[in-house]
């Protein structure tokens, strides 16, 4: 299995302005040096963390998903991050905080945020997802999550694929976030804890700057190694950081200290 080159895009966001955000992100992505295989954007990267779903929500055939498809193809990399999405049927319309996993060939998958941030009334505006998405690239299994999900270790807990344990469920946990500065200690601590308990790499990509509600975001996007070591902690400024995840290092740790084999097997009911 090969190493994996990932780029983290930490940026300010224009409040509820899709055109401005996508133009800005397109410039940033074009200027990422080298050839990343995966580019990670913050939560609600096209709008900021807005509850204005009636105005901003899109289907999977609309503007932002088409932009992701075009940009991923142009850069030759997978791009992931969440948007405000809607699913329409004859009887109802449901809204989701949806993370898109867009491949360079235009195919995509998605994860709907499971844990909605009640403190910010997210639960009043969006429906919760009930299924994890574990994607795959270059032999790496990647668990994709959104912001507040980080606080719920059972939902993120690695369970051996079968007993007796044959292989871990995933190798990398990605958290796309709009995590406020006021709770930055929790952000840093929880990212590190998830890496230690799951013996995996963890990447958290947060925004920076101020949103339309006056909330401050401190950035501090991170790459955490499978022993919990800090590989990179960004500051509060806009930054793009690229790093190659080392497969041999991950496998060596899991072989030397095979704690993952003793994990409980369980299923969470929808």
Residue found by looking up tokens 């060596």 in the block: 252
Q: Which is the catalytic residue, given 113, 122, 200, 220?
A: 113
User: Under a CB-based contact definition with an 8 Å cutoff, are residues 254 and 199 in contact?
Assistant: yes
74 as an active site residue: the answer is no
43 as an active site residue: the answer is yes
53 as an active site residue: the answer is no
Q: Which is the catalytic residue, given 58, 86, 147, 220?
A: 147
How many Å apart are CA 68 and CA 184, to the nearest integer?
Answer: 29
User: Under a CB-based contact definition with an 8 Å cutoff, are residues 41 and 9 in contact?
Assistant: yes
How many Å apart are CA 53 and CA 141, to the nearest integer?
Answer: 32
**Partners of 138 in the β-ladder:** none
Q: Which is the catalytic residue, given 37, 43, 122, 220?
A: 43
How many Å apart are CA 138 and CA 117, to the nearest integer?
Answer: 33
* Positions marked active-site: 43, 113, 147
């Amino acid at each position: 299995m090969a190493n994996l080159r990932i780029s983290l895009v930490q940026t300010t966001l224009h409040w509820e302005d899709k055109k401005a955000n996508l133009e800005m992100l397109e410039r940033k992505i074009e200027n990422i040096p080298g050839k990343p295989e995966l580019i990670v954007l913050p939560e609600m990267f096209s709008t900021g963390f807005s509850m204005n779903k009636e105005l901003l929500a899109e289907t999977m055939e609309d503007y932002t998903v088409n932009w992701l498809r075009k940009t991923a193809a142009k850069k030759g990399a997978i791009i992931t991050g969440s948007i405000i999405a809607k699913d329409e049927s004859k009887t109802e319309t449901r809204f989701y905080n949806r993370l898109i996993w867009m491949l360079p060939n235009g195919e995509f998958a998605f994860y709907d945020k499971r844990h909605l941030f009640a403190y910010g009334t997210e639960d009043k505006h969006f429906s919760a997802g009930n299924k994890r998405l574990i994607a795959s690239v270059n032999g790496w299994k990647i668990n994709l999550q959104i912001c507040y999900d980080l606080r719920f270790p059972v939902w993120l807990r690695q369970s051996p694929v079968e007993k007796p344990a044959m292989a871990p469920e995933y190798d990398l946990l990605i958290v796309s976030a709009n995590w406020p500065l006021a709770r930055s200690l929790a952000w840093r601590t929880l990212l590190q804890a998830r890496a230690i308990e799951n013996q995996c790499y963890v990447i958290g990509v947060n925004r920076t700057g101020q949103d339309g509600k006056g909330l401050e975001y401190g950035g501090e996007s991170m790459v955490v190694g499978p022993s919990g070591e800090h590989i990179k902690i960004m500051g509060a400024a806009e930054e793009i950081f690229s790093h190659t995840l080392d497969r041999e290092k991950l496998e060596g740790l899991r072989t030397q200290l095979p704690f993952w084999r003793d994990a409980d097997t369980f299923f969470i009911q929808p």
